[in-house]
Amino acid sequence: MNRNQLEIFRVVAEKKSFSEAARLLHISQPAISMHIQALEEYYGTKLLDRTTKRVTLTPAGEILYKYTLHLLSLMDKAQKDICQAAGIIKGRLVLGASLTIGGHLLPPLLSAFYQKYPEVNITMEIMNTEKVLERVTDLSLDLGFVEGEVTAGELHVEAVARDELVVVVAANHPLAGCGQISWNKLATLPLIMREPGSGTRKVIEERLQAAGFKLSELKIVMELGSTEAIKGAVEAGLGAAILSKWTIQREIKWGIFKQLIIENLPIYREFYLVLNNNKFHSPATQAFMQFCREHLS
């Protein structure tokens, strides 16, 4: 019996599913079954009842689950105390981030963090905000990074960076050198937008509504499902777009795009760090949180 087997048993017991546990832990379902079987052989009794629809704990499994939570907590505390005593930051750090943050904001930060703490093994998954919050809630992520407002509940939510959304045009666009654009002029431009339901589009709609404008007043000619696709369309001259400044840094630096600020209508949003107050926060997790505060704020 080892910690890995106990952690697998915990996730299977809580998710009541081998397939869901395999997805969350990034291992195959046969491997999950093998570890559970090893535990059952070790204790000499059946720990889980399996049906086609769900997995439930046997009486023996209920007992082991209670002790598993206690043992894992003790192991985590021992690791934390030993690392603090030795001045070592090491271990595994599992992050989840929405597309803009995971694709543009975090990579340089992760590189700098790894240079400082090379013994931390980092995994980052890109997913939408709703999924990040779900995974933080079920304890399968150490930290999440999301865009837009978040209802706290049992989660700790902390603003770590501010983003600005700006109008973007190709460098050879007639308005490329203007620096600013009026609402009336923007309404005449062919505009490429993210699809309905995207976080970026939601922020734009809310800001426009607060200022007394409507998205329907704009001339949307194309809706695309990713920022990279929109950038490709803008570069090809198909229209303008409203994008995060974080996502266009390279294009601005290389002179591919020019950005325009909408007159009297700045569009800002916060980027948030999210963690579960009920989850043990390892020295690696705490170090990365502090690193974010120091380098993003």
Q: What is the pLDDT along the chain (297 residues), one digit of tens a residue?
A: 788 888 889 888 888 888 888 888 878 888 898 999 999 899 899 999 887 778 899 999 999 999 988 888 888 778 777 766 666 678 889 999 988 899 889 999 999 999 999 989 999 998 888 888 888 888 889 999 998 777 767 788 899 999 999 999 999 999 998 999 999 999 999 999 988 877 788 888 888 888 888 888 999 999 998 889 999 999 999 999 999 999 999 999 999 999 999 998 889 988 999 998 877 788 889 899 999 999 887
Q: How far apart are alpha carbons 271 and 159 in whole angstroms? A: 6
Whether 162-269 and 90-154+271-296 are alike in CATH topology: the answer is yes
Give the pLDDT of residue 70: 87
| Distance separating alpha carbons of residues 129 and 136, to the nearest angstrom | 11
Closest by Cα among 251, 271, 103, 242 to 165: 242
The letter for the amino acid at 34 is M
Q: How far apart are the first and last CA of the chain?
A: 44
Helix (H) or strand (E) holding 126, with range, is strand 120-126
Right CATH for 3-85 from 1.10.1740.10, 3.40.50.300, 3.30.950.10, 1.10.10.10: 1.10.10.10
Q: Check residue 138 and give its pLDDT.
A: 83
**Cα distances (Å, whole numbers) of residue 213 to 84, 170, 179, 183, 281:** 54, 25, 21, 9, 44
- pLDDT score for 198: 77
Inter-residue contact 93 to 122 (CB < 8 Å) = yes
**Superfamily of domain 162-269, CATH level 4:** Periplasmic binding protein-like II (3.40.190.10)
Domain range summary for the chain, segments of one domain joined by +: 3-85, 90-154+271-296, 162-269
CATH superfamily of 90-154+271-296: Periplasmic binding protein-like II (3.40.190.10)
3-state secondary structure of 1: coil
CA distance 183 to 208: 10
User: What does pTM read for this prediction?
Assistant: 0.69
Residue of 176, 156, 174 lying closest to 166 (CA atoms)? 176
Among the listed residues 177, 176, 168, the one whose alpha carbon sits nearest the alpha carbon of residue 242: 168
